Amino acid sequence: MIVPITQYSWVFGDGNTTTITTPIIYHAYSKIGNYTATLTVMAPGSIVENSSQTPALVKVLAAPTDWPMFHHDLLHTGYSTSPAPTTNQTLWSYKTGGGVGSPAVVYGIVYVGSSDGNVYALNATTGALAWKYKTGGGVDSSPAASGGVVYVGSEDDNVYALNATTGALMWNYKTGGAVESSPAITGGLVYVGSDDENVYALNASTGALVWNYMTNGPVYSSPAVANSVVYVTATTPGQDGNAYALNASTGALVWNYTAPDYNGREGWMTNSPLVVGDVVFVIVWWELTVRWGSVFSLNASTGALIRSLGASGQIGQSDLAVAGDVVFIGTAPIAPAGPGYVLALNATTGALLWQYESDNSAFCSPSIAGDVILVGVDSSNCHVLALNASTGMLVWSRAVGPMASSPAIADGVVYVGSGDGNVYALGFNPIHSVAVTNAAPSKTVIGRSYGDIVNVTVANQGGFTETFNITLYANATSIASQNMTLPVGTSATTTLVWSTTGLAYGNYIISAKVTLMSGETNQWTGPLTYGTVKVTIPGDINGDGVVNARDLSILATNWLEKVPPAAANADINGDGVVNARDLSILAGNWLGHT
């Protein structure tokens, strides 16, 4: 007799297991290596009720360069094998209707939430919108993508599962509070926290509740999962915060660690845990005169305190990242006008290896790509910093608006959300593109035989240092040119001189174009057209074609003034001041006309 299989039990070989009722499972391995995966099925009433399939060897050849969840992986390392971009060019930006959180990047799509209530899917190469899904509240939760599904929380109290390709709703689960926690998916389960003080494990395929665990406070942190244990933190105002270790299959408490008091103040724990081997790193902070915090290392099996790593400054908003035996964290200023820091600490001893002083809060959780650490700084000039992970030296920075996002790195590109409503993609742009962004004559009316200066601004928007020629045109005639060299991501303004000697009276359209000296095709096609400048009889300041009292009045108004603030048209001979020499030219052509 054929009987249905009712239970599938997986052992993945990396310390994680799960038991589900459906045959399809998605599991993410966090490290390169060989793993033996075993499936045991159960069919009650059959002759042989338990039958194990022959173990299969799973070979993970290379860690993907995608960034599938908050802080990259189930351990929350914040580390990607992707190379870091060496330049800070903005490849694209996409405007949402609110502040943007931390992105996930999978298979060429950027998934991100916004306080406008939408989840967005954007083409990672172009920034074009693939789809968006409207929830009933702001989306602070960072999406997690796994097995063709995007999982995300919303302030409308729901956890959503959306089709990664179309954005169609697959299921949603209603909790008792806002879901600011970012989901973690493994073993067919979705682990996520809620402001209702619970940690939830949901069936990844159906959204059905598998288990929930009540903590002592809102769970803002994003669960970390390792060795079949789920790690989270939670805090209620007025009480000490706790770190929890829960059995990933049942939700049973394995251990909890209570934050110590300091100077009579309770310890808060709201940050996401970081798991490195048999150590769990958590952040404890206290509301003193200022927020003051420390990094604690705990035994992953027992929760016993190993040590307090210690760190100066206000710690509390930035989560940790790790590369090798170094952990990284950002701090806020101790004094209102003081600096913030990005710190590198020895993961074992807590010794300070280096610190980078920023002009304000390094609130955003750092991310690491190769030997570069990327972190957002929220200040009067909000920007993303790229620092050498070994030395702390600045590699590059880029202004992107108010920061509340942890950078995601995939395929050499940094993706980050901003409080200005934009998603930004930063990196190396492998094209040749030099653009004229402005070409502004100082005058709109010029007396024939006299000259004018034209300020031309050019920007290197490509990925290569470029040497090029700028040519200025009046109608189709070249009137001035100059060669320049610009490094990547820079702009410059140069001054070209236009002589009107021998030109016919009339209107001339001023434009500027760029020719690359390398012979490469310039992706900026140009030219940039300024507009019309009139060449007329000298002294015709207002351009009406005759030299008369109206022009004399303009001259008198600007008499003995330098340009600026004097009107440039009144400076007939172009020597920078309105004086007797200009009056003499006007008088010499009195009542003359074009």
| pLDDT mean over 80-105 | 89
Is the pLDDT higher at 21 or at 379? 21
Instruction: Choose between 8 and 334: higher pLDDT.
Output: 8
Torsion of CA 374, 335, 285, 230, to 10 degrees: -20
- Cis preceding-peptide flag for 565 (omega within 30 of 0): yes
Instruction: Give yes or no for a contact between 223 and 191, defined as CB atoms under 8 angstroms apart.
Output: yes
Coil, helix or strand at residue 135: coil
Report the alpha-carbon distance of residue 330 to residue 317 in Å, rounded.
8
Query: In this predicted structure, what is the pLDDT of residue 191?
Result: 98
Confidence class of residue 48 from pLDDT cuts 50, 70 and 90?
Answer: very low
pLDDT, average across residues 553-575: 93
- Asked which of 45-59, 328-342, 373-387, 403-417 is least confident by mean pLDDT, the reply is 45-59
Q: Is the dihedral of CA 540, 544, 549, 552 positive or negative?
A: negative
> What DSSP assignment string belongs to 333-379?
-SSTTS-EEEEEEETTT--EEEEEEESSB--SPPEEETTEEEEEEBS
What is d(CA 145, CA 186) in angstroms, rounded to the nearest whole number? Answer: 11
Buried b (16+ CB within 10 A) or exposed e, 242-270: bbbbbebbebeebbbbbbeebeeebbbbb
The answer to whether 356 and 395 are in contact (CB under 8 A) is no
Confidence tier at 289 by pLDDT (50, 70, 90): low
Q: What is the pLDDT of residues 200-219, one digit of tens each?
A: 999 999 999 999 999 999 99
Higher pLDDT, 57 or 297: 297
Please compute the mean of the pLDDT values over residues 97-109 and round it to a whole number: 93
Map residue 555 onto helix, strand or coil.
helix
User: At 578, which amino acid appears?
Assistant: V
Q: Please tell me the predicted confidence (pLDDT) of residue 55.
A: 55
The share of the chain scoring above pLDDT 90, in percent, equals 57
Is the pLDDT at 49 greater than 50? The verdict is no
Q: Of 3-12, 131-140, 162-171, 265-274, where does mean pLDDT reach its minimum?
A: 3-12
pLDDT, average across residues 74-94: 88
Question: Is 60 exceeded by the pLDDT of residue 47?
Answer: no
Beta bridge pairs of residue 8: 20, 41
Is pLDDT at 378 greater than 80 in this prediction? no
The Cβ of residue 539 has, within 10 Å, a number of other Cβ atoms equal to: 24
3-state SS, residue 467: strand
User: What is the Cα–Cα distance from 69 to 62, expressed in whole angstroms?
Assistant: 18
Longest dimension (CA), the chain: 118
Task: Report the alpha-carbon distance of residue 328 to residue 319 in Å, rounded.
Answer: 9
pLDDT in tens, 482-493: 999 998 778 899
335 confidence band (pLDDT: 50, 70, 90) = low
- Cβ-in-10-Å burial (0-12, 13-18, 19+) of 147 comes to middle
Neighbouring CB atoms inside 10 A of 215's CB total 25
Surface-to-core class of residue 101, CB atoms within 10 Å of its CB (0-12 exposed, 13-18 middle, 19+ buried): buried
Annotated domain spans of the chain: 7-60, 79-427, 434-588
Per-residue model confidence (pLDDT) at position 206: 96
Q: What is the pLDDT of residue 377?
A: 67
Q: Please state which architecture CATH assigns to domain 79-427.
A: 7 Propeller (2.130)
pLDDT, average across residues 333-359? 79
pLDDT at site 236:
81
pLDDT band at 382 (very low <50, low <70, confident <90, very high): low
For residue 355, give Cα distances in angstroms to 5, 290, 342.
Answer: 57, 20, 6
SS (H, E, C) 35-90: EEEEEEEECCCCCCCEEECCCEEEEECCCCCCECCCCCCCCCCCEECCCCCCCCEE
What count of other Cβ atoms lies within 10 Å of the Cβ of residue 299? Answer: 15
Q: Which residue has the higher pLDDT, 100 or 464?
A: 100
pLDDT in tens, 529-540: 988 999 999 999
Query: What rounded mean pLDDT belongs to the chain?
Result: 86
* pLDDT exceeds 70 at position 392: yes
Structure confidence at residue 59 (pLDDT): 46
Average pLDDT estimate for 504-513:
94
DSSP state of 506: E
Give the CATH class of 434-588. Answer: mainly beta
Query: Percent of the chain at pLDDT above 70?
Result: 88
Say what the pLDDT of residue 36 is. 79
Overall average pLDDT of the 122-133 stretch: 95
Residue 75, pLDDT above cutoff 60: yes
317: left (phi over 0), alpha (psi -120 to 50) or beta: alpha
